[in-house]
Amino acid sequence: MNGLSLSELCCLFCCPPCPSRIASKLAFLPPEPTYDIKAEENNPTKFTLILNERADWQFTDRDKEYIETFYARSSRNNKIACLFVRCSSNAKFTILFSHGNAVDLGQMTSFFYGLGQRINCNIFSYDYSGYGVSTGKPTEKNLYADIDAAWHTLRSRYGISPENIILYGQSIGTVPTVDLASRYEVGAVILHSPLMSGMRVAFPATKRTWFFDAFPSIDKVPKVTSPVLVIHGTEDEVIDFQHGLTIYEKCPRAVEPLWVEGAGHNDVEMFGQYLDRLKQFVSVELVN
């Protein structure tokens, strides 16, 4: 059945909904927090971002003035740490960025600031429940509630219209990104190293979505009505390249994808064509 061995089938049906191989490859891996958010003494509603040495901030202290941080509250009653990085004074688009599995906002801050400057976008991001200083535990249901909280905060606090928002998901971050994009039309969607579903990562021969499968993006992608750019390394050792290829084929409005020859799961950004493709997409294709 579906090319699975007898032992694999036994594993699936004896211990759903989280077969051990899914857990080993896709379990949430929040790092020790690399930052804190402190309320200012004279204004308890205003917060300061404090990065520790593991955050590896690569810019000046003055550059931190362009970063605003605060909490949002999710529908599942978790406090979600949020970050708005004002990279450009004339940006047309704001990216709502859902990061990868084993990082938090502190580790991503330098990347956000540098990326936003290079592609002329502001960047809004958030930490999943149980990541960084966000409360709660990382679960699939919390993941969807977390991005909803981020989305509504970005819309209400900053008044940014959906057509000026680009949803960007990386790795596990493609899961909430696809979920949100299947429910709202936005300026564009970027799926960086996406997965079809948890089962399909752990058991590559899986051809259908089982009732206990986690992260079934493959079933939601056909409902995405916005332009979608898919990015994937051809030598990805965590989420096979076939996932990106299939997601791309299922997107109704997919644009020319970026297949990065020789790139793995965590080094796509190191290749020159990564920035080139993003610039072309944001500054040329979406504008025209």
- What domains are defined for the chain? 29-285 (3.40.50.1820)
Taken in order 76, 179, 80, 30, is the CA torsion positive or negative? positive
Q: For residue 86, which amino acid is it?
A: R
**pTM for this prediction:** 0.90
Do strands 122-126 and 79-85 pair parallel, antiparallel, or not at all (unpaired)? antiparallel
By mean pLDDT, which of 21-30, 98-107, 184-193 is the weakest? 21-30
Query: Considering the chain, what percentage of its residues have pLDDT values greater than 70?
Result: 91
Q: For residues 155 and 26, what is the distance between their CA atoms, to the nearest angstrom?
A: 30
Q: For residues 178 and 198, what is the distance between their CA atoms, to the nearest angstrom?
A: 14
Q: What is the pLDDT of residues 147-158, one digit of tens each?
A: 999 999 999 999
Q: What is the pLDDT of residues 206-239, one digit of tens each?
A: 777 777 778 999 999 999 999 999 999 999 999 9
- Return the closest-CA partner of residue 34 out of 88, 99, 78, 92: 99
β-partners of residue 136 are none
- Return the closest-CA partner of residue 175 out of 260, 243, 269: 243
Residues marked as catalytic: 171, 236, 265
- Return the closest-CA partner of residue 97 out of 89, 106, 105: 105
Residue 25 CB burial class (10 angstroms; 0-12, 13-18, ≥19): middle
Which of the 8 DSSP states describes residue 282? I
Q: For residues 19 and 104, what is the distance between their CA atoms, to the nearest angstrom?
A: 26
Q: Is the pLDDT of residue 186 over 70?
A: yes
Helical segments of the chain, H only: 6-14, 20-26, 105-119, 140-158, 174-181, 198-202, 217-220, 241-250, 272-280
Q: For residues 162 and 257, what is the distance between their CA atoms, to the nearest angstrom?
A: 23
Q: Predicted confidence band at 263 (pLDDT cuts at 50, 70, 90)?
A: very high
Phi/psi at 98 (5° precision): -105, 110
Q: What is the pLDDT of residues 1-31, one digit of tens each?
A: 344 454 544 444 444 445 444 544 456 899 9
What local confidence, expressed as pLDDT, does residue 12 receive? Answer: 44
Q: For residues 187 and 167, what is the distance between their CA atoms, to the nearest angstrom?
A: 8
